[in-house]
Amino acid sequence: MIFIRSLFFFLAAILATVAYGIFVVPLIFIHYNSGYALAQSWGKTTIWLAKVICGIDYWVKGRENMPAYACVSMAKHQSAWETVFILTLLPRAVWIIKREMVWVPVIGWVLYALQSIAIDRTSGKRAIEQIEEQGRERISRGLWVSIFPEGTRIAPGKRGRYGIGGAWLAAKTGTPILPIAHNAGECWRRNAFMKYPGKITVSIGPPIVTAGREPGEVIADVENWIEGEMLILTPAN
């Protein structure tokens, strides 16, 4: 039954992605806000499909911690679920993504149209400069900047190395960071076809102040909060 549900979800999600993508990409270039709203509608549809077909529900803890102003959001990365969910959660956001993501059909094109910051992670200092330059411009327009600081999906109970890029942007612009923890990987596993029923907890922490601080100090605070919260969401056996 898990396989059948996962297959139905896969087919429904592909159809929804193609159907929305046909309209989202051109609409973003015509009217950004309308295009973004349609992209969020796709995200909500995908989350709904995961719930009704695969039994993956969720609840949000700490929603009151979300400020009315733009922040840099930093989230735990375990699956594709949170990527879609964060699109529906934040008011208007761009993503810091790997450059090769732009070439992924439909989803990559939408991320490009949404003016995400596509970086070459092998370029070192140049990538950091690009994040700061383009991120500063996006924030000045009232857009959030969203990043997964571990850079790749990490299995439940594990942690990756937290990269400095998002913290560098936040510290250099004095923009607060909104930390997000979750246990989506318990239902929607990393790079896995099978989807398992359950209730995901998304935990939003208080904004972390960055003004006047060093990026290394900031990312340490982000990691400590997220990983501390993960011990609550996914206790060690």
Kindly list the domain boundaries of the chain, sorted by start residue. Answer: 57-233
Residue 151: how many CB atoms within 10 A of its CB? 16
- DSSP class of residue 206 equals P
Q: How far apart are CA 112 and CA 76, in angstroms?
A: 22
Question: Which residues of the chain have a pLDDT value below 50?
Answer: 237
- pLDDT tens-digit series, residues 169-186: 999 999 999 999 999 999
CB atoms under 10 Å from CB of 5, counted, come to 19
- Copy the structure tokens of residue 19: 């159907």
Count CA within 13 A, CB hemisphere, residue 171.
Answer: 17
pLDDT score for 128: 86
> Which residue in the block uniquely carries the two structure tokens 């973003």?
28
Contact 202, 61 (CB under 8 A): yes
Residue at token pair 């910051």: 117
| pLDDT, position 236 | 61
CATH of domain 57-233: 3.40.1130.10
What does the alpha-carbon distance between residue 112 and residue 101 come to, in Å, rounded to a whole number? 9
